[in-house]
Chain A
Amino acid sequence: AQKITQTQPGMFVQEKEAVTLDCTYDTSDPSYGLFWYKQPSSGEMIFLIYQGSYDQQNATEGRYSLNFQKARKSANLVISASQLGDSAMYFCAMREGGTGGFKTIFGAGTRLFVKA
């Protein structure tokens, strides 16, 4: 069965510093994709970044980058130059490919606190 693990329930980071949020996954499907989402206190889910299993390069979107290590089955999110507005819950998610739909599951999340 596929699985997503986020081992850090909470993280603190100083404003303007970089922070890494961990995510490991488990799947036997060779075709899969990994997402990161941000959920601020307002509750909306904000898409941050996506990495396909066949993508050769690590995905980047502005201050967000995904450190994809396929052999280790990890997909850590790196946020550079943290801002106070980055304080939120962060979820890692994985979708598998296939003819029977694209099952997409989420991890338990990491709450990030950015300190001024």
Chain B
Amino acid sequence: DVKVTQSSRYLVKRTGEKVFLECVQDMDHENMFWYRQDPGLGLRLIYFSYDVKMKEKGDIPEGYSVSREKKERFSLILESASTNQTSMYLCATIRLSGHTEAFFGQGTRLTVV
């Protein structure tokens, strides 16, 4: 069974803190994604990566950075957390061979106070 695991289900951080959200997949997929989900806005793409050390900006990269040092791990970094980054964060991978499908982690609910 395929698995995408996010390190935390809930996080509370203070304004200005550096925050790391970790995502690990066990499917050997090249493409990994970070989204944030807010009511009425759907899922918005922050960053994605198509290979180790390769990254591309999504639609809302400001205030975020990412790291992909190993194929199975994709980290989202909030350099200096702000209250407007309070959101649900979802990590995903995509399988492109055979039956195309995207797989999601369980999500991290981040609250910045």
Q: A49 CA to B31 CA in the complex, in Å?
A: 19
Interface assignment of A47: CB less than 8 Å from any CB of chain B: yes
- Pair A47/B54 contact, Cβ less than 8 Å: no
Interface string of B17-49 (1 = CB under 8 A from A): 000000000000011010100001111110011
Q: Which residue from A47, A106, A109 sits with its C-beta under 8 Å from B101? A: A47
Interface string of B51-67 (1 = CB under 8 A from A): 10010101100000000
Most chain A Cβ neighbours within 10 Å, of B43, B96, B99: B43
- Pair B58/A103 contact, Cβ less than 8 Å: yes
Q: Which residue from A45, A101, A105 sits with its C-beta under 8 Å from B104? A: A45
Q: A20 CA to B49 CA in the complex, in Å?
A: 33
Interface assignment of B102: CB less than 8 Å from any CB of chain A: yes
Q: A106 CA to B51 CA in the complex, in Å?
A: 22
For B94, the chain A residues whose CB sits under 8 A away are 95, 102, 104
- How many chain B residues touch the partner (CB < 8 A)? 31
Q: How far is the CB of A59 from chain B (nearest CB, A)?
A: 10
For B99, the chain A residues whose CB sits under 8 A away are 50
- Pair A104/B50 contact, Cβ less than 8 Å: no
- Pair A105/B31 contact, Cβ less than 8 Å: no
Residues of A at the B interface (CB closer than 8 Å) are: 6, 9, 33, 35, 37, 43-45, 47, 50, 52, 91, 93, 95, 100-109
Residues of B at the A interface (CB closer than 8 Å) are: 30-31, 33, 35, 40-45, 48-51, 54, 56, 58-59, 88, 90, 92, 94, 96, 99-104, 106-107
A–B complex contacts, Cβ < 8 Å, 27 sampled:
A6-B42, A33-B100, A43-B88, A43-B106, A47-B101, A47-B103, A50-B99, A50-B100, A93-B102, A95-B102, A100-B50, A101-B31, A101-B50, A101-B54, A102-B31, A102-B48, A103-B48, A103-B56, A104-B94, A104-B102, A105-B43, A106-B35, A106-B42, A106-B43, A108-B40, A108-B41, A108-B42
